[in-house]
Amino acid sequence: MFSKACEYGIRATIYIAEQSRHDRKVSLKDVTRAIESPEAYTSKILQQLSRSKIINSDKGPTGGFSMNKQELDEVKLSTIVSAIDGDEIYKGCGLGLKKCNEKMPCPVHNQFKLIRDELKKMLETTTIKSLSTDLEKGLTFLKR
Amino acid sequence: MFSKACEYGIRATIYIAEQSRHDRKVSLKDVTRAIESPEAYTSKILQQLSRSKIINSDKGPTGGFSMNKQELDEVKLSTIVSAIDGDEIYKGCGLGLKKCNEKMPCPVHNQFKLIRDELKKMLETTTIKSLSTDLEKGLTFLKR
DNA sequence: AAAATATCGGACAATAATATCCACTATCAA
DNA sequence: TTGATAGTGGATATTATTGTCCGATATTTT
């Protein structure tokens, strides 16, 4: 469904969000420990998220990654997916056709439209904040 | 969503099904012409489908690919997807966790469950035969 | 000012997916 | 039986994704 990079990105963001709700800045190592991901690769992904203004990053000692508590509600799953994987998953044809559309649909266009729209709606309405509170309550897990 | 191999596989099968409904055997070139796919790569995919008994293949002149007209209703989209991409798309965790399940769900487990189940149902109920008749009626297209 | 710490950025490496090449085998027709 | 045809299978090439390494940069502490 998503690239590995995107999976790491979502898991990392949920963790950072959870910590930020308690005003805790986290280091790269904290993140990789929490989500069990390769360190250097995760670093690249956090850079992407940082450039996309989804998370903040600070250098130096006491540095690390964080999110703006006030803006936590604004960040949806779709925000992260778009930043890392782009929106091919919403817009692209299920069979990879460039010119697939209502007027000239691929054989599975209509069947996929339903699924896609549901997926889109889900990603656009699910906030990172809500996912982070579930995590804190121990209802969900980030590893293994 | 699916690998390129799987996309080619689905498109190729729909085309072969449509031709088989009219008792026409098709060559590799016919297929690649119809779906505009790389010839040698498509050949590999047709081999996979052939080994999985989804399509028949015959060597020699007058050889080519075909499907059993009587069994056309039995072949669903899911048949092809499972044969080429496996069932990771049904079973796998949306965030790539190995041990994600009801008891120990990842943060997006429940949200994804709905989408996945819909996708699964759609793939398991959509027959290649129906897709091939839409194609023949000119309602859908395999190229571009 | 210097040392320590943490992210950044670019180059590089490994792996997987996609795609190509070609000799080989089976089959049919003349 | 020979030649042409069409799929097969193995090796190889290309590209994208995933992952690593390391020096540079920014910031804080001493």
Q: What distance in Å separates the CA atoms of residue A90 and residue A82, rounded to the nearest whole number?
A: 9
What's the rounded Cα separation, in Å, for the pair A58 and A27?
10
- Give tens-digit pLDDT for A94-134: 999 999 999 999 999 999 999 999 999 999 999 999 999 99
Residue B1 is nearest to which of A1, A99, A100, comparing CB atoms? Answer: A1
Measured distance CA(A19)–CA(A2) in Å, rounded: 24
Choose among A106, A143, A144: nearest Cβ to B141: A106
Residues of A in contact with B108 (CB under 8 A): 10, 77, 126, 131
Measured CA to CA, the distance from residue A14 to residue A55 in angstroms comes to 11
Q: Does B40 touch chain A (CB under 8 A)?
A: no
Could you read off the pLDDT of B49-105 as tens digits, one per residue?
Answer: 999 999 999 999 999 999 999 999 999 999 999 999 999 998 899 999 999 999 999
Q: State the alpha helices, DSSP H only, in A21-127.
A: 28-35, 39-51, 77-85, 88-91, 109-125
Start-to-end CA distance of chain A, whole Å, equals: 18
Q: Is the pTM of this model over 0.85?
A: yes
Crossing angle (nearest 10°) for helices A128-136 and A77-85: 110
Q: In chain B, which residues have their Cβ closer than 8 Å to the Cβ of A18?
A: none
Give A57's strand partners: A65
Nearest CA-CA distance, residue B51 and chain A, Å: 22
**Straight-line distance from CA B97 to C1' C17, in Å?**
22
What is the 3-state composition of chain B as percent helix, strand, coil, each rounded to the nearest 5? 60, 5, 35
On chain C, which bases lie within 7 A of the protein's CB atoms? 4-10, 17-22, 25-29
Give me B91's structure tokens.
């079973």
Q: What pLDDT does residue A90 have?
A: 85
Phi, psi dihedral angles at A66 (to 5 degrees): -160, 170
